[in-house]
Amino acid sequence: MMIRRRALITGLVVAAPAAAVITFTLGRFRANDLRVTLERVVRSQVNDQVRERCESDPNWFLTGPLEGRPRRGEVVDPDMPPRPKTDPQPFELFAYDEDFAGTSTAAPRFPQDFRIAMRRSSAPAVASFASATGAGAQVAVATGWNGSPCMYFLGRMQPPPGQRSQRMWVAAGSFALCYGIVLLGMSPVIMRIRRLARDASASVREGYATIAPDKLKDELSSVTFTLNDAFTELHQRKTRIQDQDEALRRFVSTTNDDVTEPMKALEQEMAAAAGRSVSPEWLTRVHALAMKLENLAAAARLRMTRDSIPATDVDLGASVERVVARDAALAAAAGVSVETAVKSGAVMVTANQAMLERAIANLLDNAVRYNRPGGRVHVNLSKAADNGFSLRITDNGRGMTEDEFKSLTAIRRFRGDEGGPNRRPGAPGLGLALAREIFDRSGMQMELRRPPTGGFEAEIQPRA
């Protein structure tokens, strides 16, 4: 998850409860102010003038707005149903006798919890009450006028207009404020992380150069020092790898010039003298040594190039004929005949000619070496539609078991250690793994088969 998105989610998680707490706290403060104000107003009504007016006409007593007072018909005819109170007034004051009975028909029922509080103590009792427009405040005060029908006052104050909408605005404003504070608080950290990411990317592009340390001394600053240590180590490793690659490149070049080429020349001279003064066994040994040196050199080149190798347009048919001609002496020494069937018309492919011929030579060498005296190897190159082709190298040798075949087809990528001393017995050697890797990098695919008639077959085609 991106840091910015995480910051937004964190802001929501923090701002929502914070806004709820702020809204609740402000609501409590406002309710408390309303109750304190109401208590002061009600206590101010406890005076001689109000007492005289209340006791002289208790049924009509109401110091607040007069719309809630009973109609005259209600006073003349007590059985007449009272007029319902439909419009609560901002402030109302009602009088009650010692039994908490209202002296006015407009007076509401004295709250039960207030009755208990008034009997226990003469201190005012304050609470809230539910109103159609919100939560209002009410307070009960004992006047101290014992035996009077105005022994208790109950004052009510309706909630301010638009209380619910105000709460919504307060909640929305609190949420926006908290959300903004959280984002502003996290912005410097996010900017530092982004700057650190940019510096790290630039360092990688510049060969793992060290980045400027963060001036602040906190956990994020320690990441900068850790990255610098890692970049320093990577830079040293990169330098060592480059030095090793250069040494390997010089070694391969030296080996190719000083060892491989002389071995090829020696093999050709021995092939020319075969049957006169050189035994087929020695020719086979020299050929095997030359093949191993050439494969090692090719494997080193593949390791140095890693992803791709230099490629040009190559005539595949001409390459096949050159490989067959070079291995003719080995086939003759082994008593194996090599038959070629190359269709007329050039089959052009994009590949590295030396590497491609090395791969074909490995397949042909396997077909000859693992054959039997009097055996045959057939090399068939045919064209297909859409500039396709099929190169088959088939032998009628002893073939291989199911387990041996599985070990050959199990290796799909070249590792470079197939010819090493730690190769397990029965595992495919360097030649076949090298051929598969060369074909793969040249845009081709190699399939290995066990023909029903015996022997072995390798087919090379363009990769689909």
**Residues 140-198: tens digit of each pLDDT:** 999 888 888 889 999 888 777 766 677 788 788 888 888 788 777 777 777 777 777 78
Q: Vertex 14, ends 13 and 15: CA angle to 5°?
A: 100
Residue from 144, 48, 131, 150 nearest 93 by CA: 150
284 and 323 belong to one structural domain: no
pLDDT band at 247 (very low <50, low <70, confident <90, very high): low
Of the three residues 307, 340, 362, the one that is the final residue of a domain is: 307
Domain hosting residue 323, numbered range? 309-462
Cα–Cα distance for residue pair 30/12, rounded to 1 Å: 27
- DSSP structure class, residue 68: G
Q: Domain count of the chain?
A: 3
144 and 272 belong to one structural domain: no
Q: Vertex 376, ends 371 and 378: CA angle to 5°?
A: 115
298 and 361 belong to one structural domain: no
Tens of pLDDT, residue by residue over 338-361, are: 999 987 667 889 999 989 999 999
Of the three residues 292, 307, 322, the one that is the final residue of a domain is: 307
Residue 376 scores a pLDDT above 90: yes
343 and 384 belong to one structural domain: yes
Asked if the structure places residue 199 within a domain, the reply is no
Please state the rounded mean pLDDT for residues 15-43: 82
This prediction's pTM: 0.48
Burial class (CB within 10 angstroms; exposed 0-12, middle 13-18, buried 19+) of 288: middle
